[in-house]
Amino acid sequence: MRAYPSNSVTPSSGTVKAVRGAVVDVVFTESDLPPLNSALVVEWDKPTPLILEVHSHLTINTLRAVAFQSTAGLARGVTVRATGSPVTVPVGDAVLGRLLDVVGDPKDNGPALPQDTPRRPIHALAPLLKSQISTTDMFETGIKVIDLLTPMAQGGKAAMFGGAGVGKTVLVMELIRAMVEKYEGISVFAGIGERSREGHELLTEMRDSGVIERTVLVYGQMNEPPGARWRAPLTALTISEYFRDQQHRNVLLLMDNVFRFVQAGAEVSSLLGRLPSRVGYQPTLASEVAGLQERIASVAGSAVTAIQAVYVPADDFTDPAVTTISSHMDCVIMLSRAKAAEGFYPAIDPLGSSSMLLDPLVVGEAHYQTADAVRQTLARFQELADIISLLGVEELGVADRQIVKRARRLQRFLTQPFMVTEAFTGTPGASVPLTDTLAGCRAILAGETDDWSESSLYMVGTLEDARQKEAHGKASDTSVTAAP
């Protein structure tokens, strides 16, 4: 049984009064009720401990708590021990390279953590505003459309919003792979409501690529109770804060999927008997999201960079959960089902996505002007889409036909083969430096590729790769024509 440090509250014992799925009512007749958010340990006869977290005081001697593990087999009258402190999780170098659950127990079939591993409570306040730092250093990802139109900040918060099946997890895995290779800090991955298959794939890939030794994986999986999915991001955040505050190391915090955190909170809220709010979400939606996001902050000497995937239910970007999460982000990347249907991967909507860093004072005048010209060209092409579908391109003026030609080439140039999909597509992945991305877009806007085949620009890395593809295509055409 894990040991919990004692606060000023004296640990006491109670008994289980009622069990409603993941919610347990406990009676303390001999002592005062434990404080909210403190941990309770159920002393039952199962081999694995059952941890509860106090969430409401119902009467003077009865409380309602949320379970972090399955309550199957829990009976009324079982003894419950109060710890007097919040749930604590192991932190520090001992957890590097390990896969943990919400309460910090290793789940990778590896050895137990050392007894002297430091522990920290999962509940903490955000750093004081005066101690936080803002950074404008760009976090180059090697993904063309992100670096060009939605640059990420080192020490900032970026989120990828998209419906089911548009490529959020693939994009997160590519970012992990691309960044960890150049990134010398610690990576902490929070799998919230993930499928077991996705978790296994990520663990295997990190072991194969040799980056697992600088990574911590925290999972609250889809088959676990809502309490585990609800607190998994806090566990990952606590580990990140330790590396930031105690070891002064940069941390890359990845979360997939933050919507499952909100969804788990809604389940818990219903189980606790609270009336639902708009669209059935919990009434505490805004404060729960803020409590998580405001802890993701950088302080002098060390930065926490957060990249989060967010599922968009029914592709409704006005959903309260989506709008609440996006309000905390520096960089918002929207994934479009229409782009995915057309075969443009990554399926990022260049007009719907935005970044606070896309400013001439931050990225420089040349980058800003190129990005602005690309956006204007793509926006004009979108405006002309209805006319083209009704009358055809031939009915447009000369200037608009030229815009359409270059916009179609820009769309294809901003696609990119990923390293994590090599095994499925057979196409080698490409990581493109920002300078090559800018040079390629400027060349397309200047008309250098007007005579090229559109397919030459599709799923390539740099413009030089596209030039070789075009030359190879022309050589193939010539050989076919010359054949008897």
pLDDT tens, residue by residue, 52-80: 999 999 999 999 999 999 999 999 999 99
Q: Is residue 81 predicted with pLDDT exceeding 60? A: yes
Backbone angles phi, psi at 136, to 5 degrees: -120, 15
Residue 6 pLDDT > 50: no
**Greater pLDDT, 190 or 135:** 190
- Please give the backbone phi and psi of residue 120, each rounded to the nearest 5 degrees, phi first: -135, 145
**Polymer length in residues for the chain:** 484
- Taking alpha carbons only, the member of 399, 10, 168 closest to residue 158 is 168
- Residue 97 burial (CB < 10 Å; 0-12/13-18/19+)? middle
The yes-or-no verdict on residue 11 having pLDDT over 80 is: no
Which pTM was predicted? 0.90
Q: What is the mean pLDDT of residues 358-382?
A: 96
For the stretch 414-434, pLDDT in tens is 999 998 888 788 888 899 999
Give the rounded percent of residues in the chain with a pLDDT score beyond 90: 70
Are the C-beta atoms of 292 and 237 separated by less than 8 Å? yes
Over 60: is that where the pLDDT of 441 sits?
yes
Which pLDDT does position 48 carry in this prediction? 86
pLDDT-derived band at 478 (thresholds 50, 70, 90) equals low
Q: Is the separation of the CB atoms in 186 and 305 below 8 Å?
A: no
Contact 455, 465 (CB under 8 A): no
CA atoms of 368 and 346, how far apart (whole Å): 22
pLDDT value at 253 more than 50: yes
Residue 6, amino acid: S
Cite the active site residues.
168, 194-195
pLDDT score at 484:
45
The 8-class DSSP code of residue 379 comes to: H
**Confidence band of 200 (pLDDT split at 50, 70, 90):** confident
- pLDDT reported for residue 157: 94
pLDDT digits (tens, 9 = 90+) for 302-348: 889 999 999 999 999 999 999 999 999 999 999 999 999 999 999 99
- The pLDDT tens digits for 204-226 are 878 877 778 888 999 999 999 99
Q: Over the stretch 235-246, which tens digit does the pLDDT of each residue have? A: 999 999 999 999
- The contacts of residue 50 (CB under 8 Å, 6+ apart) are 41, 42, 44, 67, 68, 69, 71, 74
Statement: residue 1 has pLDDT above 70:
no
